[in-house]
Structure 1
């Protein structure tokens, strides 16, 4: 599969519902979205033509062979303006000559797309970032391991052992959630292990967290706030978060570009 070519936010919602429930019904979607059933059928037809859904009587189901990649690409289409703003702010912290390590998040991918603006090299674990850097001429090292399809990344013991031998100047990562108590968290344990190793390897650790992830927590902690040098977000956080950031002596950067 190449990239998602979904025509509307409504089609994104249909795909997200199919990923969560495996099977969706036309009448339920029409009632929820306030549109005619024929509109939903046309959406399903278009998604089926792309190989994203399979039509069934009265609805559609997600295709098992494409569900993980679809899930990843849908994440890449969420909060794109915020991710771009975070990436631009992170780029300001990167200097010519740096070695920059990027996790496999779609937020770090936004930085990979503009990293050619600096004379740097990179370390990556994600296929998408590798493709972007290769196309833009940024030299990079790809650290391999076990392939983790939901994030299109490499994880596991081989990855972690290799990363312990590398010492990038800057590490840029994201997480599914952040709270002062639990820190930066993620539900996918293979990704957690890889991100933990990245954080420990870096000279300067930069977290890119859009405001929708604040005051939430996922299964496992990637890093605590005091392990992160810079936290970049797109909206001013609560007083509780600001106080925790100050206590941890972490630099807070707020882009404010989507307010």
Structure 2
């Protein structure tokens, strides 16, 4: 007899989605063995995920639809480290004053800030569909900068985007990155996003990086910004001493959200 694992349904379904994204087709029998649950439990999870439009049921399992794979990848990023992102967002909100014009990049960390931005009387400049939807739902006035649509981040990038950003001058810019190290700075693997983030940072008055602690000590393909281009770094846990020393040397103000809130 198979014993139910202690995972809750949402956690199981996220694991199933991650496996489907990697393998394209998943089988009920394999998932039940990997998750330590009854096959009937897996069937219910697959049915729920199919109803949400993430998977298509096939005989004996399910497959990911090609047209939804990029959206699914974005969904899983948004669901990762949500507690840390919300903590960082609350600390970032404390830097924003009524009357500010703030620019938000397309990262899921900054999206957490967009979702609580209604607590301030501000105008926002956004680069992603998700941030625009969050602000529209909460009544925050915003301008969206268009360009070429970049599906993995559900954002706009490219030459037109960068030209438009060069004409805008927000008071504060909030951005995130896939990785950070003192040697390579804030880095990201997606070159279109790198260019868009760079143009945001150049346009801003105060440049604020929002980064959960899992990103420290890593590097990705291309540098978004070096430490001398950033004014504030907000994270959720104290970084290593070498990171603190590099931030101090570059005169970057460090806020650890757990200490701040």
TM-score (norm 2): 0.92
Task: Report the Cα offset of residue 106 of structure 1.
Answer: 1.2
SS at match of 1:8: helix
1:102 counterpart = 2:104 = yes
Greater mean deviation of Cα atoms: 54-63 or 147-156: 54-63
In the other structure, the counterpart of 1:197 is: 199
In the other structure, the counterpart of 1:82 is: 84
Task: Report the Cα offset of residue 57 of structure 1.
Answer: 3.5
In the other structure, the counterpart of 1:3 is: none
Task: Report the Cα offset of residue 37 of structure 1.
Answer: 2.9
SS at match of 1:96: coil
In the other structure, the counterpart of 1:144 is: 146
Change (3 A) 1:95 1:190: same
Tell me how far apart the structure 1 counterparts of residues 59 and 47 of structure 2 sit (CA, whole Å). Answer: 13
Task: Report the Cα offset of residue 24 of structure 1.
Answer: 2.0
In the other structure, the counterpart of 1:121 is: 123
In the other structure, the counterpart of 2:162 is: 160
In the other structure, the counterpart of 1:253 is: 255
Tell me how far apart the structure 1 counterparts of residues 22 and 184 of structure 2 sit (CA, whole Å). Answer: 26
**Structure 1 stretches lacking a partner, 5+ long:** 1-5
* Per-residue Cα deviation, 1:48-93 (whole angstroms, up to 9, x for no partner): 2322112234332111111111221222122111111111111111
Tell me how far apart the structure 1 counterparts of residues 164 and 25 of structure 2 sit (CA, whole Å). Answer: 41
1:184-223 equivalent positions in 2, closer than 5 A: 184-223=186-225
Aligned length: 252
Tell me how far apart the structure 2 counterparts of residues 7 and 157 of structure 1 sit (CA, whole Å). Answer: 43
CA RMSD after TM alignment: 1.6
Tell me how far apart the structure 2 counterparts of residues 21 and 214 of structure 1 sit (CA, whole Å). Answer: 29
Tell me how far apart the structure 1 counterparts of residues 201 and 159 of structure 2 sit (CA, whole Å). Answer: 16
1:220-231 equivalent positions in 2, closer than 5 A: 220-231=222-233
**Structure 2 stretches lacking a partner, 5+ long:** 1-7
Greater mean deviation of Cα atoms: 18-27 or 166-175: 18-27
* Per-residue Cα deviation, 1:133-170 (whole angstroms, up to 9, x for no partner): 12222211110001111111111110001101111110
Greater mean deviation of Cα atoms: 52-61 or 97-106: 52-61
1:13-24 equivalent positions in 2, closer than 5 A: 13-24=15-26
SS at match of 1:60: strand
Task: Report the Cα offset of residue 7 of structure 1.
Answer: 4.3
TM-score (norm 1): 0.92
In the other structure, the counterpart of 1:93 is: 95
Change (3 A) 1:132 1:51: closer
SS at match of 2:56: strand
Task: Report the Cα offset of residue 242 of structure 1.
Answer: 0.8
Tell me how far apart the structure 1 counterparts of residues 31 and 146 of structure 2 sit (CA, whole Å). Answer: 41
After the TM superposition, which parts of structure 1 deviate over 6 Å for at least 4 consecutive aligned residues?
none
Residue 240 (structure 1) aligned to one of 239, 242, 249: 242
SS at match of 1:215: coil
